[in-house]
Amino acid sequence: MKKTLSILLATSVSFFGLHAGESLPDPDGKPADMKKPVQVFILLGQSNMLGFGKIKGGDGSLEHATSEKKLYPYLVDDSGSWTERKDVRFVRVMQARGNMKVFNNEFMTIKGNIGPEIGIGHHVGNLIDAPVMILKSCIGNRSLGWDLLPPGSSGYKHDGKQIPGYKETFKSKKDKTIVPFIKGGDCMQWYAGKQYDDDIGNAKKVLSELDKYYPGAKSYEVAGFLWWQGDKDMRNPAHYSKYEENLGSLLAALRKDFKAPKAKMVVASLGQTKKGSSKGDGVILEAMTSFSKKNNDVEFVYTHPLSKGGSSSGHYNKHAETYMNVGEAMGEAMVKLLK
């Protein structure tokens, strides 16, 4: 697959501004200009990003939010049906039993449980005058300090214990000896960074078969990464103490893997975490805040005011408004970076 490397802002973006509190416009139903490269936004993380927002039911469902509360009007057309964007493709894949499983491959609409991809997709779709792909590749219960550890991360000591670096693993649970992972041995052996390799490998597979996932597309550019994660790391001091450093390694690895040195990044905190928390989740929030302040290409979204209750470990009680609110905020943050 030919990959176009032209600069995003010079070739593919037309701008329009939204004022605070203004609703996103309804989709116009028109396809994108397929002469332009697909602008790809890769969504990564764990169950936060995976999405558990319920569609049907009473209060807390997306149907209730749109019909009773009149929220997110751009999601519903005049007949009461879910709208569909003809310029934004949503693809969701996940590693399952050693293989990539495809859950979504359609133009963006409401289908199944929702995550933040809906708000993200509408924001960037309204900004960009080119085809857009929202590509989500993640699975639940994964940590940045272990499962998603980026390539190049070195091992280190914490509280007197040696913590594995990328592609290192424990020889056994009993002796906790660190040894390099050697492919070809026990195929089920886990290692630091295994989920990174799976998720990024799956995203690359989608992009290598671009026409299968965005019909008519000829080329693409990876324009940005969106990261909503932290639930597993907050329970492990060795992992949350390294969170900011690992975020830096993550962005560098992603840019290298996708040959996208100018790609932007949005990171979002856990919904239950309030500023000032002294626990692991608070350390992660501060790491995200610090990371964004030190990098002009990174924006941080504080999600506590956007959450409708519950916690990341309980999937925010599957409250659709939480996932919509966070998605809109992450999308708006990405638009700010692209502008």
Q: Would residue 283 count as lying in a domain?
A: yes
Q: Would residue 131 count as lying in a domain?
A: yes
What pLDDT score was predicted for residue 96? 85
Same domain, 104 and 223: yes
User: In the listed set 191, 219, 254, which residue is the last one of a domain according to the structure?
Assistant: 191
Same domain, 225 and 139: yes
Q: CA of 302: how far to CAs of 69, 232, 282, 315, in Å?
A: 24, 18, 12, 17
What pLDDT score was predicted for residue 11? 36
Same domain, 161 and 139: no
CATH of the domain at 100: 3.40.50.1110
Spatial distance between the Cα atoms of 206 and 83, rounded to a whole number of angstroms: 25
Q: What is the pTM of this model?
A: 0.91
Spatial distance between the Cα atoms of 161 and 123, rounded to a whole number of angstroms: 45
Same domain, 129 and 266: yes
Give how many domains the chain has, as a whole number: 2
Three-state secondary structure of 150-174: CCCCCCEEECCEEECCCCEEECCCC
Same domain, 283 and 314: yes
Same domain, 25 and 135: yes
Same domain, 109 and 53: yes
What pLDDT score was predicted for residue 186? 46
User: In the listed set 191, 214, 245, which residue is the last one of a domain according to the structure?
Assistant: 191
Q: Would residue 42 count as lying in a domain?
A: yes
Dihedral, CA atoms, 127, 132, 137, 141, nearest 10 degrees? 20
Spatial distance between the Cα atoms of 326 and 316, rounded to a whole number of angstroms: 12
Same domain, 122 and 244: yes
Do 70 and 252 form a contact (C-beta atoms < 8 A)?
no
Same domain, 168 and 57: no
Nearest CA among 88, 119, 126 for reference residue 105: 88
What pLDDT score was predicted for residue 198? 95
Nearest CA among 129, 130, 106 for reference residue 118: 106
Which domain range does residue 168 map to? Answer: 154-191
Q: Would residue 3 count as lying in a domain?
A: no
Strand ranges (DSSP E) for the chain? 38-45, 88-96, 99-107, 132-137, 156-158, 161-163, 168-170, 178-180, 220-228, 264-268, 298-301
Same domain, 281 and 161: no
What pLDDT score was predicted for residue 171? 72
Same domain, 181 and 286: no
* Low-confidence stretches of the chain (pLDDT beneath 50): 1-21, 185-187
Same domain, 122 and 270: yes
Spatial distance between the Cα atoms of 220 and 36, rounded to a whole number of angstroms: 8
Q: Would residue 2 count as lying in a domain?
A: no
